[in-house]
A and B are shown apart, each in its own frame.
Chain A
Amino acid sequence: MEYAVEMKGICKSFGGVQALKNVDMELRQGEIMGIVGDNGAGKSTLMKILSGAYQADKGEIFIFGNQAEIHNPLDAFKQGISMIYQDLALFNNLDVARNIFVGRELVRGPLGITLAKKDMYRRAEELIKDLRVDIKSPRLNVARMSGGQRQMVACARAIAFQSKIMIMDEPTAALGVTEANKLLGLIKNLKDLGLSILLITQRIPDILAIADRVFVLKGGVRQDILNVKDTTLDDVVFLIVKGKDGNSKKVDDIEYKSFG
């Protein structure tokens, strides 16, 4: 099977701390895969390597079967990869349209440097409509938006450039129940549009609700990839806490509450 993403033997250290140890990860085309693990498990580090924010010390990345050299976010973008960060990485001083197109502005004129502002605002408006999100105008400043609306802007940015692979880091962490549900609905819509999605979250029920598979990391080591339809919350929590070797305390003793 040709995977959308295949990461092989990824290693990454920060000073003396080895954050990722020989990690393999495969994302199928058109699937939603949850990435779970306790704090410090290496979820965000692995995804930041895929998105070009970090560089792996060792390992290979294949995108749709082709080996990819990802040294920075621009390389990742060229491979069709977008990452929506936990802190959203939005620009509070810019409006919605500017946020969507920043770094990849639509331009016109012989020099190719003049902003095509009308096109940017029109396209931003179309994206807002396509996503059916509650944002009244692309001219609104994102600083004045709710957490959910800001997530939608971040999603719109990824979709605007026809990303094929989207990485979302804790997208529902700062949202209320209603907004989180709306966002999960949106993620499903994105899958229907053909995107392959990696979803980092601590909220395992979110993953069980919308993901096809779940990838478990513990202490920078891959534990397993589970099919969601054959998996229970207990199975996932067990792997997160005890790991594949299961040499920790009994699962009954594990406190689930923190996983929401």
Chain B
Amino acid sequence: MENNPSLSKNLSWKIGHIIRNYTPLLILLAAIVIFSIIAPNFTTFNNIRLLVRQISFVTISAVGLMFVMVAGGIDLSIGSQIILTNIVLSLMISSTYGLGIDPLIAIPICIAMGTILGMMNGILSNILKVHPLIVTLGTAYIYRGLGYIIAGGRNIDGLPDSFRVYGQGYVGPVPVPIIIMIFVAIVGAYFLHNTNFGSRVYAMGGNQEAAHLVGINIKRMKVIVFAIGGLASGIASVLLLSRVFNGQVTTGAGIEFDALTAALLGGVSFAGGEGTILGLITGVMIIGVLNNGMQLFGLQDFYQNLVKGALLLAAVGYDQYQKSRRAKEMLAIA
């Protein structure tokens, strides 16, 4: 075959296009291959099941966070929402320290509380007119502080056995949290990608002023997306409490950074308006594989934090690179 310059240029563009669009998937595959080789038991059925269960809590939170991020916001209070709802729920259902309420009654209350905590972020963001980064940083301290105050330094046990099913139960070979994660992801994908509401969330994240000008109620939308974030945190909180089976103020702490890193890795833009649930799940899988693989490989927690921090920065850098590349393309067209 002759060496055609336009053909080779076209080929290199195609390779570049594949790398740009499938980077998260390529990273995930690379991580799986590496840990399959270096980490013992990484590819066993039990480990894979464990891995997916581990990521189910982050995935649920990340789906909620994604609504906020696609709309152009950010929520750093997710972990603190989980801490607070976790403590409140454990006190409601604990027969030793709490009220001994039936979990079937307490769980909806806990999820509703998560939704209200999320809504508060949206309302405060509207009232204070500052970036949600600052608002949710503030509420994160408040929610966490309230959790500590209510817990009063105790680990709350005495939870009813009927509550175990949500975090520890199985349907056939599949853990319940995985089933709930799949359900949340499907519902999230439906609302984000297939409804008029989702279309407006993307519009709002793409150009907030234009969204206002086409008649989208920005303030209301902001409250709704934060409420969805809180709803997802509420669900994750129930599952985490059931899994840990002990009300602790450390449960859920820092989950927002895993969710944020996963979202950015999966192509959800920090500036809003972009990202898919499938991409998000790829991002969560990357985090999950790294966590699990590093544990199996015997790396201690602080090394894991080092890797995750570097990954978060790399994801932000990659997002920024994509944005400036697109801006250059637009300039070239104009």
Contacts and interface: CB of A to CB of B under 8 A. Distances in A.
B206 interface: yes
The A interface is mostly helix, strand or loop, or mixed, namely loop
B194 A115 contact: yes
B194 A144 contact: no
A113 interface: yes
Contacts of A254: none
A89 B216 contact: no
B196 A91 contact: no
Nearest to B214: A103
The B interface is mostly helix, strand or loop, or mixed, namely helix
Interface in A119-178: 143-147, 174
Which among A72, A93, A107, A145 has the greatest number of chain B C-beta atoms within 10 A? A93
A161 to B, nearest CB: 10
A51 B210 CA distance: 13
Which among B202, B207, B209, B334 has the greatest number of chain A C-beta atoms within 10 A? B207
B334 A144 contact: no
A92 B207 contact: yes
Contacts of A114: 194-195
B17 interface: no
Interface size class of B (residues with CB under 8 A): 20 to 34
A52 B213 CA distance: 8
Nearest to B275: A93
Contacts of B130: none
A35 to B, nearest CB: 18
B330 interface: yes
Contact of B203 (A94, A113, A115): A94
Closest 9 CB pairs of A and B: A74-B215, A93-B206, A103-B214, A89-B210, A93-B273, A105-B196, A91-B206, A73-B215, A113-B195
15 contacts: A53-B212, A85-B213, A89-B207, A89-B213, A91-B202, A91-B211, A91-B273, A92-B207, A101-B199, A102-B214, A105-B199, A114-B194, A115-B196, A117-B194, A143-B326
Interface of A: 51-53, 72-74, 77, 83, 85, 89-94, 98, 101-105, 107, 113-115, 117, 143-147, 174
